[in-house]
Structure 1
Amino acid sequence: MKKKLSLILIAMTAALFVACGTADKDTGKQIQSLDDLNGARIGVQLGTIGDIYASDMEGDEAGTTIERYNKLTDAVQALRQGKIDCVIVDEQPAIATTEGEANLEILDEPFTTEDYAICIAKDNEELLEKVNGALSELMEDGTLEQITKNYIGAETKGTCPYETPAGTVYDNGKLVVVSNVAFPPYEYYENGEAVGIDMELIKAIGDKLGMEIEIEDIEFDSIINAVSSHKADLGIAGMTKTEERLKSINFSESYVKTKQVIIVNNGAAAGSSISFTDNLKRNFVDDSRWTYLVKGLVNTLIIALCAVLAGMIIGFIVAIVRVTYDKTGGWAIANAICKLYLTIIRGTPMMIQLLIIYYVVFKSVNVPKLLVAIIAFAINSGAYVAEIMRGGIMSIDGGQMEAGRSLGLNYKQTMISIILPQAIKNVLPALGNEFISLIKETSICGYIGLMDLTRGGDIIRSITYEAFLPLIAVALIYLIIVQVLNMGVGKLEKNLRKSER
């Protein structure tokens, strides 16, 4: 086991150095104007205006293809590596992304123009009026202009941050605001805090309304769902009001006018790259960015441990019901319910189950996201544990049950004292594999805005625009956890075999 782990670590380390020393590739098609987009491979962030408008070109006679990414960081990384020909994104995030990148440039010709607004649920007209009133005041008194200048402008950037007026009290409750905090200068992380134009603006709106602001970071394409399902009160993430979006959500008045631009790879040298040590420092040491991984790891382990324990209980109950029906014909209704549960859970993806439980089952209930994730993964794990245990019980020779009954034990006593101990020993490797799979599956928790290990790596990537090191760090942590579990399961199996002698 130790030798195997060492070989894996050596291979990954070698790949790391190769990747760090590999130059970016040239793109296959040079994009110099809008006319060149025909037949190009266009990268966009999923659900953005760039995605919506670029989709009209998809599948045309020229063979234009659209590559959709969850994060702008991923799209830009693909552009650097020549996997796509250009990226369509909002102007200011494009400027922040290409800063210091000699091989990336923004075309002068804009793709389209747009207005940003705040999204609010359709049945919340009262809040819409309040937000519009606060926005109007912030525009009139110059606060919005001040906030914008604090993040945009060579002479004003960082010189005029918004400050809560003295005497402000938050006696009107709390506003839960969802955003995708990976879109500088509108929203991004700095020293562990969500900052940017949108973050200061929503803070100023909260001050005007006397309401405390709570920011939740989720995927961009989940923002409208979160607001419309009342998981959040507001959504702000450089969002544009469109006719299609208005069918599902309301929008405030516009607070900024901007444009979509095109980032291209000009084929120039990427410039002098920083050393490997400096790159490690930039990704993990600066601003204590390693803490994102630690926070994510803690949540990952909590979810996995709690879910596997709850899943074991669910699985045992379902397995006993099904085995009892198979052997005695009893509990027919309970068996039918269990079979339906197994069919649904094992027949649908885990991510869909998580989203359904969060956005549908708990739509009107304010349940902590950590608890939602534990419930979702426990229900999913229980289905697989049930079939593992049922197989283990059915593998025990029927004579064991007959022997127990002949000794005067009833069915329940025989099952608990004789059958289950042998079955657990037989299926222990499979149960260990289920726990390992569960830990890796928690990487989808970011879809409901919960910080897990993978999400922690994503946040680092969104700050540094460096994909490789954060991803490798996350992969190594998962690998170490899995190998520790494998050794633990192996040791437990070895101890259990001693009872066979």
Structure 2
Amino acid sequence: MSTRPILALLLAAAAALTAGAAQARSFDDIKKDGKIIIATEGQFAPFNYFQGTKLTGFEVDVAEAMVAKMGLKLEWKALGFDALLAGLRQDRWDMVIASHGITEERAKAVTFTEPHYCSGGVIVAKDPAIKSAKDLAGKVVSVQTGTTYLENVKKLAGVKEMKNFPQDTDARGALMTGRVDAWVTDRFVAKQAVDANPAGGMKLGDFLFIERIASAVSKGNTSLATELNKALAAIQADGTYATLSKKWFNEDIRCK
């Protein structure tokens, strides 16, 4: 998606914590327990979503492959996007993988791993004349709350109105039902949405911005970040990553 919660939300959540809040678990703590707890949104196909009651998607497959390399068991948590990074500060889980773009603001609140894919925000519209950033002047644009899509649309001069929604699927629905002129989302999410509904009339426009997408751990939890980076490098080196990437996107989407 790439990406998401803003620092103000994180700081507000942090302020609500008691002084006795638990410390994030180091890799040694997790290894001793034998299980890592990972949170995701579960509403962002094809990266993380539910098929019935089963959590699936590219990021789910990548995380499971990494955890297998680490010799651990995995427990998943799925919840609203805005709560994911804040939960790291509450030690509710060890890691988040949910298409968060690496930003300077987010990096003040969490520690990012190496990116597991590169993408960017694209413009989607039904009107073929709406393709580039300049075409959004005077238009109503939908985005998901707490994302880099929202932050980048806010920077544009001349946008008539920005409507933000709790889930990206709601932002897409606003375009489909004619409540907005354009939708800004991840390139791969947009491509899947267009391919899945050719009669919907949605057309892919230009990139609004490019970004690197990474997992996150609690701020300063370098022992865990280091092991996750080793596991990611291992699945990229042994061909697992390429297989998963081609399964979901028919191309290798790692950062070049």
User: Partners in 1 of 2:176 and 2:28 — Cα distance?
Assistant: 41
Contact map agreement 1:55 1:66 (CA 8 A) in 2: no
What SS class does the counterpart of residue 155 from structure 2 fall into? helix
Alpha-carbon distance in structure 2 between the residues aligned to 1:267 and 1:56: 23
What residue is the counterpart of 2:227 in the other structure? Answer: none
> Which residue of the partner structure matches residue 306 of structure 1?
none
Matched, 1:216 2:171: no
Pairing 1:232–2:177 present: no
Aligned residue pairs total: 180
Pairwise CA distance, 1:50 = 5.0
**Alignment match of 1:21 (pick from 19, 22, 36):** 19
Summarize the alignment of residues 239-250 of structure 1 with structure 2, pairs less than 5 Å apart. Answer: 239-242=186-189, 243-246=191-194, 247-248=196-197, 249-250=202-203
Residue deviations 1:416-471, cap 9 Å, x none?
A: xxxxxxxxxxxxxxxxxxxxxxxxxxxxxxxxxxxxxxxxxxxxxxxxxxxxxxxx
Q: Structure 1 residue 197 and structure 2 residue 152: aligned?
A: yes
The CA distance in 1 between the partners of 2:23 and 2:115, in whole Å, is 25
How does the TM-score come out when normalised to structure 1?
0.31
1:182 maps to 146
| CA shift in 2, pair 1:229/1:29, >3 Å | farther
SS of the residue corresponding to residue 241 of structure 1 reads helix
Letter in 2 for 1:27: R
- 1:252 aligns to 2:205 (yes or no): yes
Q: Contact between 2:39 and 2:84, CA under 8 Å: does it hold in 1?
A: yes
User: TM-score scaled to structure 2, two decimals?
Assistant: 0.56
Q: Which residue of 2 aligns with 1:105?
A: 111
Identity percentage over the alignment? Answer: 12
In structure 2, give the amino acid aligned to 1:231.
R
Larger proportion of strand: 2
Per-residue deviation, 1:260: 0.8
- 1:84 partner SS: coil
Letter of the structure 1 residue corresponding to residue 122 of structure 2:
A
Contact 2:142 / 2:172 at 8 angstroms: preserved in 1?
A: no
Distance of aligned partners of 1:227 and 1:18 in 2 relative to their CA distance in 1, 3 Å threshold: closer
Change in 2 beyond 3 A, CA 1:83/1:183: same
Select 2:59's aligned residue among 34, 41, 54.
54
Highest RCO, 1 vs 2 (Cα 8 Å, sep ≥ 6): 2
Specify the SS of the correspondent of 1:87: strand
**2:39 corresponds to:** 43
Secondary structure of the 1:197 match is helix
Deviation at 1:131, TM superposition (A): 1.7
Amino acid at match of 2:115: P
Residue type of the partner of 2:38?
I
Structure 2: runs of 5 or more not aligned? 1-14, 49-56, 223-256
**TM-fit CA distance, 1:114:** 1.0
Structure 2 residue identity aligned to 1:44: T
Per the alignment, residue 122 of structure 2 pairs with: 117
Per-residue deviation at 1:43?
Answer: 2.1
Tell me the residue number matched to 2:95. 86
Contact 2:111 2:221 in 1 (8 A): no
Measured after TM superposition, the shift of residue 75 of structure 1 is 0.9
Structure 1 stretch displaced more, 111-120 or 38-47: 38-47
Larger Rg: 1
1:105 maps to a residue whose letter is T
Question: One-letter code of the match for 2:211?
Answer: T
Q: Structure 1 pair 19/84, CA: closer, same or farther in 2 (3 Å)?
A: closer
Following the alignment from structure 2 to structure 1, what is the Cα–Cα distance between the partners of residues 213 and 36? 17
List, as ranges, runs of 4+ consecutive aligned residues in structure 1 with deviation greater than 6 Å: 58-61
Q: Which amino acid aligns with 1:245?
A: A
Please say if residues 69 and 75 of structure 1, whose CA atoms lie closer than 8 Å, have aligned partners that are also in contact. yes
Q: Which runs of 5+ in 1 are unaligned?
A: 1-16, 32-37, 139-169, 188-195, 207-212, 269-501
